[in-house]
Amino acid sequence: MLSQEEKSRYSKQTILPEIGIEGQERLKNAKVLVIGAGGLGCPILQYLTAAGVGTIGIADGDVVNISNLQRQVLYTEAEIGEKKVDVANHKLKALNPNVTFETYPFFIDSSNALDIISKYDIVVDGSDNFAARYLVNDACIILNKPMVFGAIYKFEGQVSVFNYQDGPTYRCIFPEAPGEGESPNCADIGVVATLPGIIGTIQANEVMKIITQTGEVISGKLLTMNTLDINVSFFSFKAIPENKRVIDLRSSEYNCGINPAGIKEITYSELKDILAQEDDIQLIDVREYEEYQIDNIGGLNIPLSQFKHRFSEIDAHRKVVLYCSSGVRGSNFGKQLLQKGYRNVFNLKNGINELIIS
């Protein structure tokens, strides 16, 4: 039952005949897990909290980074270095004390996904990488939970609802993850500030429709939006039975080739020690020139896109340390160096994002 305070708080929502008091009570009794408290996760969490979803889980192992503030509007500069789940928990409680929050200050993986997801009615995917999406999709299939999906890329976004009422899954439209380096995350290619807010809000809207049992859920369809020209399209797809036959999470590989064998990962702290003790180090920034000009930690700038024409500038007999924004392009660059016969190759773990954490 709603308290008098809740009736007043949600009055603009309950006067809608499609929701009403009954729909608001459904929201109050619902349990929703939001995976990722970043660009998509912020608007998802803020609107589900304001709308009165009773229990919200927040799963994210990251801390607030200054580069997050351009689009992750739940955070401020004063909170740089703090755990996102802790900051989100504190601020969302202030927004709506009627909501119960459960925080998971770590990344969802195959060892914990089933246990955590089993506690919730709906899972909202606000992750920024393919490994997490396939993992969450497969866990939702096993547990028969709907997954509200969103993805962003530069000025473009996608939304769909998978595994809803025995509908299609993520693998029914994207059967396999892209190859290594074929599709970088927003840390590598950028994203306009407003896009996560638009796509995340649509995801929150889908969650509310599922809970209140109103409207048409975006199941069996993929909504795509280009914010440069406000072009919105829908692509239909059907369930493929074999893509719904997931038995356990151990049978699938979810690293998407991010750290190929033979490439050693080092933290920024370890890199500083190496640079202090050794002179014969080749530090290579594999980001684009424009990114290098904004911020770098030194070294030679050889963009991954120019590898074919410039890799010979790197001495195969010396130690090579590669870095980018998140570690993905550095890993891809390193793999190609290994194929060319280079052996002493290192990649900076998490890229220069590691600077905020170290």
Question: What does pTM read for this prediction?
Answer: 0.78
Mean pLDDT check: name the lowest of 116-125, 211-220, 312-321. Answer: 312-321
Among candidate residues 51, 26, 11, the one with its CA nearest the CA of residue 210 = 26
What is the predicted pLDDT for the residue at 128?
86
Q: How far apart are CA 26 and CA 259, in angstroms?
A: 44
In terms of pLDDT, which residue wins out, 187 or 290?
Answer: 290
Report the pLDDT averaged over residues 198-219.
98
Among candidate residues 290, 317, 309, 287, the one with its CA nearest the CA of residue 299 = 287
List of residues 6+ apart from 313 with CB closer than 8 A: 300, 302
User: In 3-state terms, the chain is what percent helix, strand and coil (to 5)?
Assistant: 40, 20, 40
Note the pLDDT tens digit of each residue in 244-302.
Answer: 888 788 655 565 544 555 688 999 889 988 888 888 899 999 998 888 998 899 999 99
Strand 231-236 to 100-104 pairing = unpaired
Report the pLDDT averaged over residues 177-183.
57
Grade residue 203 by pLDDT with cuts at 50, 70 and 90. Answer: very high
Kindly tell me if the per-residue pLDDT of 357 is higher than 80: no
Mean pLDDT check: name the lowest of 18-27, 111-120, 245-254. Answer: 245-254
Average pLDDT, the chain: 91
Mean pLDDT check: name the lowest of 170-179, 200-209, 266-275. Answer: 170-179
Q: DSSP characters for 135-147?
A: HHHHHHHHHT--E
Mean pLDDT check: name the lowest of 6-20, 225-239, 272-286. Answer: 272-286
Q: In this structure, which amino acid lies at residue 322?
A: L
